[in-house]
Structure 1
């Protein structure tokens, strides 16, 4: 016996669902800020809309969301184009191939996943071509061996300073800070709070040479409280806001 497909929720129902989810996430961030002795305005919520349609982005914008993120250019480029009329800041947070740099430079305001000099060069050329300035964050991989790149991308901690200098010296790019994803391997696996604390330490060292590089992007749906406690300025939240829905085709 064939089962009937579950119908998509109406726009009003979806907006109500997103509103409730946003309220819960806002409560979590607010409580984490109180516990950490921080001001709520010091933490920016970036909603990761990967696999969700442009219609959801429009609803989020109606609900007051101003920062959205994507991790695949093939999904992000058409979505950003469809939402170009909205007052949104776009963050690219996934691993980025150099051949996608030109496309990403056309819509992204921040690239959180800068992890190698070759990518710096590609983004610089693309930003100049697009006559835009891209904010760049160095992705730090705490599960990377010295001089290698982790499975999910990122520079080993001891490579951050040199990579930051490359970004700072590149035309069309602006060094804005650092980012990490809680490691799945290595000594900090399963200990996101410690990883985020180390990221903040790296950020502090980086700001000695680059005072404007103040962004610390860390924490997702499962560990945003630990990121706020450690000192993250931006948390990247997807499923806690958007829920579990089928992936886009």
Structure 2
């Protein structure tokens, strides 16, 4: 068994335990393996262990891996900050974009999504902890942007994403995650196609699952520590 396969099994056991603790069906929760800065060979190891959903933060790095692996069984999620000049690559190559937080980006993705592909699945990023340094919209602005996206034919509004501020106390983690879950439930009432709450990473995964997350984003616990020096060139991508 490879270390990545072993790590995946451990993460899946953690997800299973968190789901059991709050009485949720494990099938409701998708594991998104965050493969940023990792080589395609590491993704191939995860694939061999049954992983199919991968998240990338840097556009060009992600596109290079999509080309290199060229496997239609994989689902590629863009989960990093998206600059307008990189939107075309996301629209053309990725299956999902988690970080839509303004009309201009949504409009560009819609216009640039090739007609031969299925609509791009999009999540609206919410700045749930109101952090100056974080991307995402305020909850008050969510209804207007959701309506705009829902009217775009080449995009499919699937739900919400958030990166809460780091918090070590479980009760405080849960309180923030429940805020997101409430916004998610409201969005589902307005848009029946909404089914995805991308919330929870290694340190707050249990709280996110307890609150109702349907997708957790896990990287280091699967692939090991990242070498950001090696990937520095991708930070502008």
Question: What TM-score, normalized by structure 2, do the two folds share?
Answer: 0.91
Measured in 2, the distance between the counterparts of 1:246 and 1:217 equals 25
Corresponding position of 1:137: 123
The residue matched to 1:179 in structure 2 has which SS? strand
Correspondences of 1:1-249 after superposition (within 5 Å): 16-85=2-71, 87-128=73-114, 131-144=117-130, 150-183=132-165, 191-247=172-228, 248-249=230-231
Question: Cα 1:220–1:184, aligned 2, differ >3 Å: closer, same or farther?
Answer: closer
Query: Is the 1:134–1:173 contact (alpha carbons within 8 Å) kept by the matching residues of 2?
Result: yes
Aligned 8 A contact 2:101 2:135 in 1: yes
Aligned to 1:52, the other structure's residue is in SS state: coil
Unmatched 5+ stretches in structure 2: 232-237
2:234 alignment counterpart: none
Aligned-partner SS, 2:8: helix
The count of aligned residue pairs is: 228
Q: Flag structure 1 segments of 5+ consecutive residues without an equivalent.
A: 1-14
Highest RCO, 1 vs 2 (Cα 8 Å, sep ≥ 6) = 2
How much does 1:131 deviate? 4.1
Q: CA deviation at 1:29?
A: 0.3
Note the C-alpha offset of 1:151: 2.1
- State the partner residue of 1:12: none
**3-state SS in 1 of match to 2:113:** helix
- Cα deviation for residue 197 of structure 1 reads 0.7
- Asked if the contact 1:49/1:238 (under 8 Å) is kept, the reply is yes
Which protein is bigger by CA-based radius of gyration? 1
User: What is the Cα deviation at residue 192 of structure 1?
Assistant: 2.7
The 1:34/1:131 distance shift into structure 2, 3 A limit, reads: closer
